[in-house]
Chain A
Amino acid sequence: MDKLKLTKEQIDLIGSIVTQDWLNNFVQPEESSIEAIRVGIDYIYGLFGLKKPITIVVDSPFAGHLALNFLLNTFNTFECSVRQRVSNQTSNRVAVEGSNEILELTTDIIFYSYRIWEQVWEQADEQFKKQIWEQAVAQVEQPFLEQASDPAWKKFLAQVAQIKKHFLKLSDEEIYEDICKINEETFPREAGLEYWQPWEENDEPDWEQSDEQFWEQSDELSLEPSDQGLHGEGDEFFLEQSTQWTFDENGQIVLLEQSNEQLLEWCERSFWCRFEEQFWEQFFLEVRGYFIERVVDECGVYAHDQVLRPIHRQVNEEEWLGFIQAGEEVKKQVLAQVRKQMEEQIIIEFHKPVEKQALEQAWRQKKAQEKRSPHSTFSYLEMDTYKSIILYEFFARLGAINREELNKLTNVVKAVGTGIYGFIHLKGLCIVSTLPKLLRDERKRPHSLDQAAVKWADGYGLHFINGVYFPKELWTALTSKTITAQEVLRIANTEQKAIAIKLFGYAELLKESKSTVISRETVNINGQLKVYEVIETDLGDDRLPARFVKVVCWSTLKETLLRVDPRNEQTLDPIGAIAWTAGLTKEEYLMAIET
């Protein structure tokens, strides 16, 4: 590689631009966008050759655990325990073999989970569907049968009977004439069509297909059966509904109504699909069946579809409307009753226990993880990854790294930067926790003296002051000013200690510790003589003793201690120390006329 010919200024400039670009990526967005997150997750899955997953977005890692446990409990305990073992194995593997690099981290976890869980998933998926369907049917079957004696059902049957009666009023001769007439119109003899045997020998039509064709042609009567139901929707429903969960301060679920509503709708739809079969069977049995026999006898099975349609037109329009309305009324009343019963039975007997179990498990996991490392079930980008990528990006902009390859890595990080805190990735399913609420100081560092600077919706929070993490107990003692000077001086972590000292107040701490006056200078401030001093004391938060210059504010005349760099010789002198706080040499400072 050719030696890069860049000046230090150019390198510094590129460095600062890269850093700022990536800071913007990481710091933004303030609010997570579910759409953007899903696009990001789809990209990551796609990058590794995986199908787009169903992505559940929840507002905290705890909610993610809950969603996962809900799903696992919904499958059953066997799959749950298998998943747990799989999870433990993969986590251990990743912990042993993994590195902080995103590519390795992500591929390891996704593919370990993918390979092993793949074998379990299909079984679990099938069992889940079977379980929910059996329970739903069990709850719905009896109410449906009870509907058979319901007034609405009776009215419907009466309408069916009315239509049947209309047809029955026709004599065989009249029907025969009708059929002949219709046959003549449908299959004109002059066209040479053999309507009674329109198919070739050994090439019989698909009976069900021709039946469907008939009902498609009858769409003006709105008679086509609904195709809504179970087909591929049950699993998606359960996954999606968990996005509706919200939590109170203690992480308890406070809103399940919406998901319950979806469950009801799903069950209703499934039920109605089943009910409709009987609904139409009744009609076919009573009305259509009668004619099918007649028509088939007369003009062949294929022709009956063509024939039945015009025959329906013979029925009084009012009777048809009555029939349709009665059917709608039946549907409405049946579903109302089914809903009422299911609310009490399915929700309470099925949903709630699962929810309770999932909640308990998730809560145990949360507690256990808080003792170890928070949110460890989730995969997330370590700070080292961000540092690394800034470094790689820097070299890529210098032309030292292949941009195309790096883009794969940067795009993954950008995808995560759409507002993802962490995610649990499984085949076909990805549970995402959005970013916590973050409070910052003016330099965009996590910071708050009033509450946790980093806070998730589940109530878990981390306390920071000017970018330095504090355990909650220490943060509380500092911000409530219940900490003593001695306790401040005993803080072991130097970063925390430095912040604590500043917050506690230098003057108070100096009273509690041995200090040495290094130099003094008398200054005339508005006609008053004031003494500026340089003082040193060992606060234990730096390798060198802390050095302060004690100055007086010209307008308020208050004494202030300013901490100065103990490695800079200029700060040994009060004026030199003040000049240092302005970024000037003592000479430069003295050159200016202070007003």
Chain B
Amino acid sequence: MKKKERLLKYRQGDVYIFAVEKTDYNFKQVSSKVLAYGEVTGHSHQIVTEKGLIGVAEIKGQLYLRITDQNAMVKHEEHYHINLPPGDYKVIIQREYDPVQYQRSVMD
């Protein structure tokens, strides 16, 4: 049985970033990317880099990042910055239970 690998996880507020094994996705290069907006404040979790670009791929609604720059970081107005070392990442936005959506999905 293959030994489970411990993955690096980052969390900033309601954004989780998991390091994943190198993927073969087709990444689009951008200079920055907003990962999520705050519901009330309008603040955003944004990944930026001093130089170079960030690879972004959306696979079946799932956001993946490819970091090649040593100075990439996730910024937010209220949280500590998080430095992301080069590698591929999966971004997950924290979910909450929504009884309205649940009821609607049950009815449908």
Contact = CB atoms under 8 A, between A and B. Distances in A.
Interface string A529-555: 000000000000110001100000111
A471 B11 CA distance: 38
A563 B100 contact: no
B98 interface: yes
Contacts, number: 70
A562 B39 CA distance: 14
A234 interface: no
B7 A566 contact: no
Contacts of B82: 595
Interface stretch (A41-49, A491-499, A515-523): A491-499
B98 A594 contact: no
Given A566-B97, A582-B16, A582-B94, A592 B78 contact: no
B79 interface: yes
Nearest to A594: B9
A498 B11 contact: no
B94 A581 contact: yes
A581 B99 contact: no
A564 interface: yes
Contacts of B95: 581-583
Contacts of A565: 97, 102
B68 interface: no
A468 interface: yes
Q: Of A564, A566, A593, which is in contact with the most chain B CB atoms at under 10 Å from its CB? A: A593
A442 interface: yes
Given A442-B37, A494-B103, A556-B78, A593 B97 contact: no
Interface in A457-487: 466-468
Contact of A562 (B10, B16, B92, B94): B94
B6 A592 contact: yes
B96 interface: yes
Given A556-B78, A582-B16, A582-B92, A592 B98 contact: no
A593 B79 contact: no
A112 B38 CA distance: 52
B19 to A, nearest CB: 8
Interface residues of A, number: 29
A555 B100 contact: no
Nearest to A578: B94
A591 interface: yes
Given A555-B80, A583-B92, A547 B7 contact: no
B80 A495 contact: no
B8 A595 contact: yes
Interface string B68-82: 000000000011101
A498 B99 contact: yes
Contact of B99 (A442, A466, A541, A593): A541
Interface string A491-519: 00011001100000000000000000000
A547 B97 contact: yes
B100 A495 contact: yes
B15 to A, nearest CB: 10
A8 B3 CA distance: 32
Interface string B3-45: 0111111111100101000000000000000000100000000
Contacts of B13: 553, 555
Contact of A563 (B37, B79, B96): B96
Contacts of A494: 99-100, 103
A553 to B, nearest CB: 6
Contacts of B103: 494-495, 542
B79 A591 contact: no
B92 A553 contact: no
Given A553-B79, A581-B94, A592 B100 contact: no
A592 B18 contact: yes
Contacts of A546: 99
Contacts of A591: 4-7
Contact of B97 (A466, A468, A563): A563
Contacts of B37: 442
Interface in A149-178: none
A547 B98 CA distance: 11
Contact of A498 (B10, B78, B80, B98): B98
Nearest to B14: A581
Q: Of B7, B18, B92, B100, which is in contact with the most chain A CB atoms at under 10 Å from its CB? A: B100
A264 to B, nearest CB: 51
Interface string B33-60: 0000100000000000000000000000
Contacts of B10: 594-595
Interface string A370-393: 000000000000000000000000
Q: Of B7, B13, B96, which is in contact with the most chain A CB atoms at under 10 Å from its CB? A: B96
Interface of A: 442, 466-468, 494-495, 498-499, 541-542, 546-547, 553-556, 562-566, 581-583, 591-595
Q: Across chains A and B, which 5 residue pairs bring their CB atoms closest together, nearest first?
A: A592-B9, A542-B99, A555-B79, A555-B80, A498-B99
25 contacts: A494-B103, A495-B103, A498-B98, A498-B100, A542-B99, A542-B103, A546-B99, A553-B13, A562-B96, A563-B96, A564-B96, A564-B97, A565-B102, A582-B92, A582-B94, A591-B4, A591-B6, A592-B7, A592-B8, A592-B18, A593-B6, A593-B7, A593-B8, A595-B9, A595-B82
Interface of B: 4-13, 16, 18, 37, 78-80, 82, 92, 94-100, 102-103
Given A541-B99, A583-B95, A592-B8, 7 more contacts: A542-B103, A553-B79, A565-B102, A581-B96, A583-B92, A595-B8, A595-B82
